[in-house]
Amino acid sequence: MSGLIAVIDIGKTNAKLILIEDAGGGTVWSVERPSPAIAVPGFGELSRQLDVHGIETWLIAQLTAAPDKHRVRAIMPVAHGAAMVLVDGEGDTLLAPDYEETCFDRLSAQYRRVRPPYAETLSPALPSGLNLGAQIFFVQEALPEIFLRTRTILTYPQYWSWRLCGVAASEVTSLGCHSDLWNPNTQSFSGLVLDQGWGGLMPPLRPARAVLGPLRQQVAEATGLPADCAVICGIHDSNASYLSHRVARGDAAPFSVISSGTWCIVLVHGADLSRLREAEDMLANVDALGVPTATARFMGGREYAAIAGEGAGPPTAAGLAAGLAAVLQANAIALPSFALGGPCQGRTGQMLRTEELAPEGRAALATLYCALMADLILDRLGVAGAILVDGPFAANPLFSPVLQSLRPADPVTASGTRGGITAAVLWLAGSAPPPEAPAKPLPALPEAPALRAYRDRWRSMLTA
């Protein structure tokens, strides 16, 4: 009987625990809970933090209740970027900042004087705490008593591997994720880390697939998991979506992965890094093999919710089809931006001629907007070749067909709601992922000519 791999997938919106088969990658069991930031008094302006204690309590309870837990041979943490946890010399958690806190902006002028140039890190200057270096700098300057107690800075996936096995590590996919902390060209820490004296707080570098150790004894005893269950170092979530395609396809042909969730991250294999533009939220992610990867993004999940309405239910194919017709008939338009970051920073989101749209029309408009944003990013990165959509946008019946209609020369495939992460986890855990199915390009929608004309109007409004 094959073993199981437990995937701890901590996103900005939801935390998931998934058990997958070591052979073949089928999902055996999964549970999830929200992962909101919570109010934590006593840290001055930094009023909200990541709910690491609540997530850990939930995680231990779910591991204890998991079916077939005796078959779990390895645990793999996957987590969002721009997140860190500060730990003291006794191993206690001091601080887990939420990157959406606006207090980081108070010191942005001072921080930008010390942060490395874009040419060194290929990390754009971002608002709030989206640059991980800005969070560390804020704690150093505004919360010196916390910073002086800090002995270890852990990026988010590696915080969870440390909690499970007691071994601290740094890893390049999180360090190379718009952090300002990593120089992708030299594959080493940036001048910021050296100049600010943070190097001693960074644990040793380990590959994402490295086994850090077995479970802590108390975790094994509390959950009933095997004592020899291996804890793997872990990986940044969007890089996990990209990794399985990267491994399966090698270096032969260019391709792009659209990893969706709270953030919509476009990672392009084979793109020219010289096309990256700091002002457009473009960066070089670093993949699990250490290779700089052209990337751009926007907060797709948040922007979709803002346009569709927070109370919108899951979109259906029939509802979206009717909604798209209503959007085109009314020439309803949503213009960026409705959230942090993205290629159109500095603009305030607008919705025009949307008053008469029914809920399905608003959902279709939100989907169309996100497809237009992804299409804009793909053009600016100079994309050619297959486009693979992963995450919630893959489950949206309209997103991929609209994108295919906008880009008839590039085959678009919806690869599954978490297909990329599952295959990546198998590879990282030393198992053979299932072979990637040949891409089956989606047919263009009958509205394709109207959608391309709509795109032209939409883009002209961005530059008006």
Question: Each residue of 451-460: pLDDT tens digit?
Answer: 999 999 999 9
Residue 185 region, left (φ>0) first, then alpha (ψ -120 to 50), else beta? Answer: alpha
Model pLDDT, residue 31:
98
What residues have CB less than 8 Å from 197, skipping those under 6 apart?
A: none
Q: Same domain for 370 and 413? A: yes
Q: Same domain for 186 and 242? A: no
Measure the CA angle with vertex 84, ends 79 and 87; round to 5°: 125
**Which one has a higher pLDDT value, 418 or 363?**
363
Q: Same domain for 71 and 33? A: yes
Could you tell me the pLDDT band of residue 416, with boundaries at 50, 70 and 90?
low
Last-in-domain residue among 183, 200, 233: 233
Across the chain, mean pLDDT equals 93
End-to-end CA distance of the chain: 63
Q: Same domain for 51 and 82? A: yes
pLDDT in tens, 140-173: 999 999 999 999 999 999 999 999 999 999 999 9
Q: Same domain for 145 and 211? A: yes
* Mean local confidence (pLDDT), 199-205: 98
Beta-bridged to residue 258, according to DSSP, are 266, 389
Model pLDDT, residue 233:
98
Is pLDDT at 381 greater than 90 in this prediction? yes
Locus of tokens 């290929």: 122
The number of domains in the chain is 2
The gap from C-alpha 100 to its chain's centroid, in whole angstroms, comes to 14
What whole-number percentage of the chain has pLDDT above 90? Answer: 82
Last-in-domain residue among 182, 210, 233: 233
Q: Same domain for 376 and 269? A: yes
Q: Same domain for 106 and 154? A: yes
Model pLDDT, residue 432:
79
Q: Same domain for 402 and 358? A: yes
Model pLDDT, residue 439:
61
The CATH number that applies at residue 212 is: 3.30.420.40
pLDDT in tens, 277-305: 999 999 999 999 889 999 999 999 999 99
Encoding tokens for residue 44?
């001055």
Full residue range of the structural domain in which residue 116 is found? 4-233
Q: Same domain for 36 and 88? A: yes
Q: Same domain for 152 and 244? A: no
Rounded to whole angstroms, the Cα distance separating 186 from 165 reads 30
Could you tell me the pLDDT band of residue 436, with boundaries at 50, 70 and 90?
low
Q: Same domain for 272 and 375? A: yes
CA-to-CA separations, 447 to 119, 373, 394, 444, in angstroms, rounded: 42, 18, 20, 8
Model pLDDT, residue 14:
95
Q: Same domain for 227 and 281? A: no
Is pLDDT at 32 greater than 70 in this prediction? yes
Last-in-domain residue among 204, 233, 262: 233
Is pLDDT at 382 greater than 60 in this prediction? yes
Print burial letters for 26-52: b (CB count within 10 Å at least 16), e (below 16): eebbeeeeebebeebeebeebbbbbbb
